[in-house]
Amino acid sequence: MRLELIKAHVKGVAWGCKTELLKDGTLQVSKEDLLSQIEDHEFFKSVDADMARPGENTRIVPVKDVIEPRCKAEGEGEVFPGLISDVTSVGSGKTFVLDGAAVVTCGRIVGFQEGIIDMSGKGAEYTPFSGTMNVVLVFEPKNGIEAHAYEKACRIAGLKAAVYIAKSVYEAGAQADEVKVYDMPAFAESMNAYPGLPKVAYLYMLQTQGLLHDTYVYGIDAKKILPTIIHPNETMDGAIVSGNCVSACDKNSTYMHQNNPVIRSLYDRHGKDVNFVGVIITNENVTLADKRRSSSYAVKIARMLGVDGLIISEEGFGNPDADLIMNCRAAERAGIKTTLITDEYAGRDGASQSLADAASEADAVVSAGNANMMIDLPKMEKIIGFTDYVDIIAGGFAGSLKPDGSIEVELQAITGSTCELGFNKLGAETW
C-alpha cells in the first residue's frame, strides 16, 4: 500500500476572511467559518478560537488534544475514518498535510485536567507544540451535559476543525513544499524482500482504560478489540485517534498518532538495516484476563509474521507497565528481540523505581525521561483556555504557585513532554 504525504509548510498563522495558505507560508483562517463548522448547540455553551505562535508569551491550558490538519487529496476514504468520516480503510493514495500547524483543543471535561503548552520560556523546551503554529479551540459545556458525551463532542470538534482547515487550504490551491512517500507492499512481497536484513515489526500499545483514558481505531473503542495488524500508513490518515487526557506528559495526542515517530524511524531504516514488515496494535485494559489475552495474542501475531525484532511502545504508567513487561517477556521467550520505549516516574528526586514492573528480559530500553522532574514555569502574559488551572496545579496536584506568579510544576503537567512514542529528544540517565 502506497501513500504520498503532500506537505505544505506553515510558517505563520493569522485570522482572515478566507481559510487558505498565503504565499509567505502564513496559514490564514476564517474564524467565522471555522466556528460554524464545529459549533454544536447540543453540547457546547460556547466555542471560541484563538492563536498561539512559537516565541509568544502565551500559555495554553488545559490541553485536551492536539491534531494536525490533514485531508485526503486522492485515494479511498477520508482522514479520521469512523469518527467524522466514513469507515472505509485508509492509508493509500495522497494526503495533504499542513506541516507546522496544529489544532489544539481546550475542553475541560473534568476539573482536574492538566496539560500545559507554553509557547516560550523554560516550558517551551519540553513540549513539541511550542514549535507549531497553533489554532486553539476553547469549549464550554452546556449545563447538564454528561461527561462521556461531552468528551466525545470535544474530540469530534477538534477533528472536524483539523479537516476543515486542511480541506479549505487544499481546495484553495495550496502548493506542495515537500512530498514524502511511504510504501509498504503486501506480505507476500515484503516477507521475501531484503533476505539479508532482519524482519522487524512495531508493537503499538494504546491506552484503553475508560473515560479520559481511551483510544479509538476507525472509531472503535480500542478497549474492545483483539490485537490486530494495521498498515503503518493508516495511522497517517488518522485511523488512530486519542481519547486520552491523563497524564499530559505521556498521553499520545492525535497529532502523535498521525506523526508516529517509530513508524517514521522504521521507514527511514527500511531496506538499509531492517526489513520493516508491519505494525501490530494492542490495548492496555484494566482486567488481568484482558491483559493476558492481549499480550499473548499480540506476540502470537508477531510470531506468525516471523519477525526477528520488535519495537514496543507503551502509553501511560503503572497499569501499562505490566502490559509492556508482559509483552517484552513473551516476545523474548519466543526468540524475538525487543526494544522498549517508556517514560519514567522516578519521583522528584529521581530515586524511586521508575517503572511499576520489571523483567531481566527488558535489557534494551529507551527512556523518554522522568516525568516527575520539577520545572519552573514563568508567569505568562496571555493564557488561552481556563485560567483557574493555577488553583488546580497550585493546589499541590503537581506543583505550586510562587509569589512572583511563576509556577513550579512536574514535567508530568506539560503536554507531550515524555511522549512514549519517542517523539522527543528528552531522556534520562543514572547519576
How many alpha carbons fall within 13 Å on the CB side of residue 86?
7
Binds other proteins (CB under 8 A): choice among 40, 54, 112, 300: 112
Contact window for other proteins (CB under 8 A) among 60-68, 173-181, 185-193, 260-268: 260-268
Distance (Å, whole) CA 223 – CA 314: 15
Contact window for other proteins (CB under 8 A) among 22-30, 71-79, 233-241, 264-272: 264-272
**Binding flag, residue 363, other proteins (CB under 8 A):** yes
Interface positions, 155-194, toward other proteins (CB under 8 A): none
Strands (E), 38-77: 44-52, 58-61, 65-67, 70-74
Binds other proteins (CB under 8 A): choice among 36, 88, 296, 353: 353
**Binding flag, residue 41, other proteins (CB under 8 A):** no
**Binding flag, residue 364, other proteins (CB under 8 A):** yes
Query: Considering beta carbons, is residue 71 or 248 the nearer one to other proteins?
Result: 248
Contact 203, 327 (CB under 8 A): yes
Binds other proteins (CB under 8 A): choice among 16, 131, 185, 210: 210
**Binding flag, residue 274, other proteins (CB under 8 A):** yes
**Binding flag, residue 377, other proteins (CB under 8 A):** no
For the bound state, the minimum distance from the C-beta of residue 49 to other proteins, rounded and expressed in Å, comes to 21
Omega of the bond leading into 128 within 30 degrees of 0 (cis):
no
Binds other proteins (CB under 8 A): choice among 264, 300, 303, 379: 264
Contacts of 87 (CB under 8 A, 6+ apart): 81, 218, 219
Contact window for other proteins (CB under 8 A) among 31-39, 55-63, 164-172, 346-354: 346-354
Name the residue with cell 490485537. 227
**Binding flag, residue 198, other proteins (CB under 8 A):** yes
**Binding flag, residue 150, other proteins (CB under 8 A):** yes
User: CA–CA distance from 10 to each of 13, 178, 260 (Å)?
Assistant: 8, 12, 20
Contact string (CB under 8 A) for other proteins, positions 380-399, x = contact: ------------x--xxxx-
Distance (Å, whole) CA 16 – CA 32: 9
Binds other proteins (CB under 8 A): choice among 75, 91, 123, 369: 369
Contact window for other proteins (CB under 8 A) among 7-15, 19-27, 72-80, 367-375: 367-375
Q: 332-341 burial by CB neighbour count: b if 16+ within 10 A, else e?
A: beeebebbbb
Contact 72, 78 (CB under 8 A): yes
Among residues 160, 191, 56, 68, the alpha carbon closest in space to that of 117 is found at: 56
Residue 281's DSSP bridge partners are: 204, 228
Contact string (CB under 8 A) for other proteins, positions 227-256, x = contact: -------------------xx--xx-----
**Binding flag, residue 366, other proteins (CB under 8 A):** yes
For the bound state, the minimum distance from the C-beta of residue 27 to other proteins, rounded and expressed in Å, comes to 25
Binds other proteins (CB under 8 A): choice among 186, 195, 360, 404: 360
What residues act catalytically?
245
For the bound state, the minimum distance from the C-beta of residue 355 to other proteins, rounded and expressed in Å, comes to 8
Residue 344's DSSP bridge partners are: 370
User: CA–CA distance from 264 to each of 181, 191, 353, 424 (Å)?
Assistant: 11, 20, 31, 13
**Binding flag, residue 207, other proteins (CB under 8 A):** yes
Binds other proteins (CB under 8 A): choice among 25, 121, 350, 378: 350
Binds other proteins (CB under 8 A): choice among 14, 87, 211, 226: 211
**Binding flag, residue 82, other proteins (CB under 8 A):** no
Contacts of 162 (CB under 8 A, 6+ apart): 67, 68, 69, 70, 79, 80, 103
Query: Considering beta carbons, is residue 94 or 293 the nearer one to other proteins?
Result: 293
Q: What's the start-to-end Cα distance of the chain, in Å? A: 46
Binds other proteins (CB under 8 A): choice among 286, 333, 334, 405: 286
Query: Considering beta carbons, is residue 356 or 383 the nearer one to other proteins?
Result: 356
User: CA–CA distance from 300 to each of 120, 224, 335 (Å)?
Assistant: 46, 18, 12
Contact 105, 63 (CB under 8 A): yes
**Binding flag, residue 319, other proteins (CB under 8 A):** yes
**Binding flag, residue 129, other proteins (CB under 8 A):** no
**Binding flag, residue 358, other proteins (CB under 8 A):** yes
Question: Residue 418 — φ and ψ, nearest 5°?
Answer: -120, 40
Distance (Å, whole) CA 182 – CA 180: 7
